[in-house]
Amino acid sequence: MSQLRSKHLLGIKDLNAEDIGLIFETADNFKDVINRPIKKVPSLRDITIANVFFENSTRTRLSFELAEKRLSADVINFSSSSSSVKKGETLLDTVNNILAMKVDMIVMRHASPGAPHFLSKHIDANIVNAGDGTHEHPTQALLDTYSIRESHGDVSGKKVVIVGDILHSRVALSNIFALQKLGAEVMVCGPPTLIPKFISGLGIKVSHHVKEALAWCDIANILRIQLERQQIKYFPSLREYSLYYGVDKALLDSLGKEITIMHPGPINRGVEISSDVADSEHSIILNQVENGVAIRMAILYLLAAKKA
């Protein structure tokens, strides 16, 4: 197989292990490209991509933009804070106006879960979901699992714990889907208030004790507390959260085993992860960022490759 089944990347849920394998193999080639003296290939030279961000983003947006430019695509950027969305324009109208300017692909981040799925039913352009509310963040999950494959050789059979605010995290849900499809064992860990009630229905383990969770795993993916999505108080204070669920060197040393540390960023140093852990030799946080560009190049390339 040399192409993806779908013309969109809306979520990991729609992919199978074969699709993910193809994305990884293609990303291997692009990782090689971005480590050359000239980091650019002309593949998407006749493609225009709009990065439509209705929510803030630094890493994902830069990573997408860099991936697009390294593929020689024309890029336009849109952010809702400086747009007519503030004047009451609907999502579909905004996107149709962008498409009227002959745009081929849309990379979209939106606060509402399902926004890219809605859009995919109404427009012809390829859509890449760059995060939809608390639902999915497929490219993050792909770069996370790609980074695990890179550091451990294979994702299958690995034990991965996701620690933190699972309830509000699209990274967690996409990671759970991706890890399961690739044959890893998954556990989530956090305060009971930040773990969705029926999450064990996805076939994963749940723990409320970070030490127990870390002792079980090979890899820990640590998420930040998403205060901006929390309408009510889920725990007494950040300090208390940090004391019970923060990962620091003393905790890792007490386990007597080596664990690979991941974090999708942005990091709140001293809250969910201490500096000595984030910067340690077992941390692959910056590898994740580098792999993010290669993974996004692979996705854009494979989606654009469908015959015009």
Partner 1 sequence: MQRRLLFDSHHLDITIKRLCQQLVENHDSFENTVLLGMQPRGVFFADRIAKELKSKVSNEIKLGRLDTTFYRDDFRRRDAPLKPNATEVDFIIEDKKVILIDDVLFTGRSVRAAMDAMIAFGRPAKVELLVLIDRMYSRDIPVEATYTGMQVNTIETQKILVEIMEQDRAEDKIWIIDNESVA
Interaction between residue 304 and partner 1 (CB under 8 A): yes
How far, in Å, CA of 11 to CA of 223, rounded?
Answer: 19
274 Cβ contact list (under 8 Å, min separation 6)? 246, 247, 248, 249
**Residue 26 annotated in active site:** no
Distance, in Å, from the CA atom of 132 to the CA atom of 11, rounded to the nearest integer, reads: 9
Work out how close the CB of 236 gets to partner 1 at its nearest, in angstroms, rounded to a whole number: 52
Q: Establish if 237 lies at the interface with partner 1 (CB under 8 A).
A: no
Site string for partner 1, 19-38 (x = CB under 8 A): ------xx-xx--xx--xxx
Query: Which region, judged by CB under 8 A, interacts with partner 1, from 158-166, 201-209, 265-273, 297-305?
Result: 297-305
Length, in residues, of the chain: 308
Catalytic residue chosen out of the listed positions 70, 137, 149, 158:
137
Q: Among this protein's residues, is 60 annotated catalytic?
A: yes
| DSSP 8-state secondary structure symbol assigned to residue 196 | -
Rounded Cα gap, residues 172 and 138, in angstroms: 10
Binding mask 50-89 for partner 1 (x = CB under 8 A): ---------------------x------------------
- Rounded distance between C-alpha atoms, residue 90 and residue 88, angstroms: 6
Sheet holding 105-110: strands in order across?
74-79, 48-53, 105-110, 126-132
Choosing from 87, 102, 257, 307, the catalytic residue is: 87
Least distance (Å) between residue 159 CB and partner 1: 31
Q: Name 20's Cβ contacts closer than 8 Å, sequence gap at least 6.
A: 12, 142, 145, 178, 181, 182
168 is catalytic: no
Applying CB under 8 A, which of residues 7, 17, 34, 41 lies at the interface with partner 1? 41
Marked catalytic residue, from 60, 139, 145, 260? 60
Q: Which of 109, 168, 181, 224 is catalytic?
A: 109
Q: What is the size of the binding site for partner 1 (CB under 8 A)?
A: 25
- C-alpha 134/C-alpha 231 separation (Å) is 13
- Told to judge if 61 belongs to the known catalytic residues of this protein, a careful annotator would answer no
Q: Does 9 bind partner 1 (CB under 8 A)?
A: no
Of 42, 170, 190, the C-alpha closest to 115 is 170
Binding site for partner 1 (CB under 8 A): 2-3, 25-26, 28-29, 32-33, 36-38, 40-44, 46, 71, 301-302, 304-308
* Catalytic positions, written as ranges: 59-60, 87, 109, 137
